[in-house]
Amino acid sequence: MCRLCALTSSEPLSPMKAIEALDVMREGHDGSGVGLFLSDLGGPWEELEGAPILSGIFTNDGLKRLDRFMMEIGFMTKYKLSIKTPKRTPPGVPKRDVYLIRAYELPEEWDQLPPQEIRNRLLGVRLQLREMGQEKQDMIVFSFWPDCIMIKEIGDPMTVAEYLGLDRKELRARIILAQGRQNTNYAINLYACHPFFIQGMATMTNGENTAFVPIREFLSSRGFPGYVGYQSDSEVFTHILHYTQHFLGLGLEHYKHVITPLQDEVLETHPNGPFLKHIKRSCRRLIIDGPNCVIGCLPDKRLFMVQDRKKLRPGVVGGRPGLYAFSSEMCGLDAMIPDRDKSKDIQPMHLDTVIVGANRQEVRLCSQMDTLPPVL
């Protein structure tokens, strides 16, 4: 099992908040890796609206290749954060040349492009870099998107955070997703490390997806270039979310109906029964099975948590207006927001999706039994 925590706050916070929460939940992860997703960024990034930020790990050669490549396609560096690491790496953490977080100016000729085209091109650049990196083992690229930073590394979360000096002003963000990894099925590969990212959406999962192979086959055969990777069975959760929103035009409230549909006899009496039956049938290949707690963030800065059909994984949500946190365990929540009204904590159950909006004023609990908002 992995451990997850997420924060959404009106004021930018240090990612160390989340790392500390992972640290108190260390019984639940084996220190084999940590992944961070930061959005609604504070500090210098706030003024870079629309500038895609590239996050990744590079060798010195890789960095040169990156620069040449980006220059060729017309991207200019707008701002960069250099993470200088101590000479000696702590035990369990590999030696890297460069942890890169760099914002780019979009090429001039992109100015006239429709937003959808820009989104797809940004995805294309990330995939191209990823491919180049895999070819020569000199680049690992996590995200390339405005207002999103991702950091992933092998090792104990606290050790890695201290080593990389994550407690710095420039990394403060209003939304933080963090995962402490328990290495399970697949070899340690940073591309298998949560959170997973596609076009501004990120999700991370505590659990295992036993329906992984058929779901991967479905997504891979959609003909969408972004549905690749799958070094981890949890990556499909991010892509299913993307698919339901981008291709089916469904809302976040529908996500759980796609991955864990209600049983037929319940649908008979559900207010949206006939519609949901169509969703269940045509999206049957996206039904997940097995224990999963999914925490994710949408481009509109909503944070959510979805539970599996049998509630086999822990998850708790709590906080106060202006600051809410999601965590695998209560102790993680306590570490992030000790001074909250604990009686208002929510442990979403097998039918529930929890959503905290961008205004961070309340926690919305959606049950699958509720009437759904209309689909546009």
Partner 1 sequence: MLSDGHIAPSSLSLRDLPWQVHWSLEKCTLCGRCTTVCPVHAIELGVFRKRILETALGITQAPSNVFKVFYGIRQKTDPAYACIGCGMCSLVCPNDAIMPYRSEEADKLRFHINRGGQPRRRGGRRNVPGGILDRIKFIRISMLTDPALDAGRHEFELRSLLGRVLPPEENLRRLKEDGWIPPVREIYPLIIGGMSFGALSPTMWEGLQMGVAYLNEELGIPVRMCTGEGGCPPRLLRSRFLKYVILQIASGYFGWDEIIHAIPEMKEDPCAIEIKYGQGAKPGDGGLLMWYKVNKLIAAIRGVPPGVSLPSPPTHQTKYSIEEAVAKMIQSMSMAWGFRVPVYPKISGTSTALAVLNNLTRNPYAAGLAIDGEDGGTGAAYNVSMDHMGHPIASNIRDSYLTLVRLGKQNEIPLFAGGGIGKNANLAANAAALIMLGASAVQCGKYIMQATAGCLGSESDRCNVCNIGVCPKGITSQDPRLYRRLDPEKVAERLVDVFLAFDTELKKIVAPLGRSTSLPIGMSDALGIDDPAAAQRLQIAYVV
Which chain residues interact with partner 1 by CB under 8 A? 1, 182, 184-185, 207-208, 210-214, 217-218, 221-223, 243, 247-249, 260-261, 263-264, 275, 278-279, 281-285, 287, 289-291, 309-310, 312, 375
Q: Minimum distance between the CB of residue 246 and partner 1, rounded to whole angstroms? A: 10
Query: By C-beta, is 54 or 279 nearer to partner 1?
Result: 279
Q: Minimum distance between the CB of residue 289 and partner 1, rounded to whole angstroms? A: 5
Q: Is 319 left (phi over 0), alpha (psi -120 to 50) or beta?
A: left
Closest CA to 309 of 299, 294, 320: 294
Q: Which residue has the tokens 């929890």?
A: 354
Which element (helix H / strand E) includes 23? Answer: helix 16-24
Q: Within its chain, how far is the Cα of 160 from the centroid?
A: 19
Q: Minimum distance between the CB of residue 207 and partner 1, rounded to whole angstroms? A: 7
- What is the Cα–Cα distance from 168 to 115, expressed in whole angstroms? 32
Q: Minimum distance between the CB of residue 214 and partner 1, rounded to whole angstroms? A: 4
Query: By C-beta, is 222 or 344 nearer to partner 1?
Result: 222
CB 46 within 8 A of CB 142: no
Query: By C-beta, is 2 or 325 nearer to partner 1?
Result: 2
CB 2 within 8 A of CB 315: no
Query: By C-beta, is 70 or 240 nearer to partner 1?
Result: 240
CB 143 within 8 A of CB 117: no
Query: By C-beta, is 202 or 288 nearer to partner 1?
Result: 288
Query: By C-beta, is 87 or 278 nearer to partner 1?
Result: 278
Query: By C-beta, is 91 or 223 nearer to partner 1?
Result: 223
Q: Minimum distance between the CB of residue 220 and partner 1, rounded to whole angstroms? A: 8
Q: Minimum distance between the CB of residue 163 and partner 1, rounded to whole angstroms? A: 27
CB 219 within 8 A of CB 203: no
Q: Minimum distance between the CB of residue 160 and partner 1, rounded to whole angstroms? A: 22
Query: By C-beta, is 191 or 243 nearer to partner 1?
Result: 243
Query: By C-beta, is 80 or 222 nearer to partner 1?
Result: 222
- What is the Cα–Cα distance from 19 to 206, expressed in whole angstroms? 16
Q: Minimum distance between the CB of residue 231 and partner 1, rounded to whole angstroms? A: 14
DSSP 71-85: HHTT-EEEEEEEEPP
Q: Name the phi and psi angles at 126, rounded to 5.
A: -60, -45
Q: Minimum distance between the CB of residue 224 and partner 1, rounded to whole angstroms? A: 10
Residue 54 corresponds to which tokens in the numbers above? 């590239």
Q: Minimum distance between the CB of residue 140 and partner 1, rounded to whole angstroms? A: 25
Query: By C-beta, is 13 or 351 nearer to partner 1?
Result: 351
Question: From edge to edge, which strands make up the β-sheet containing 323-327?
Answer: 148-153, 34-41, 173-180, 3-13, 323-327, 316-320
Distances (CA, A) of 181 to 185, 186, 188, 199, 238: 12, 12, 10, 23, 17
DSSP 232-282: STTHHHHHHHHHHHHTS---HHHHHHHHSPPPHHHHHHSTTHHHHHHHHHH
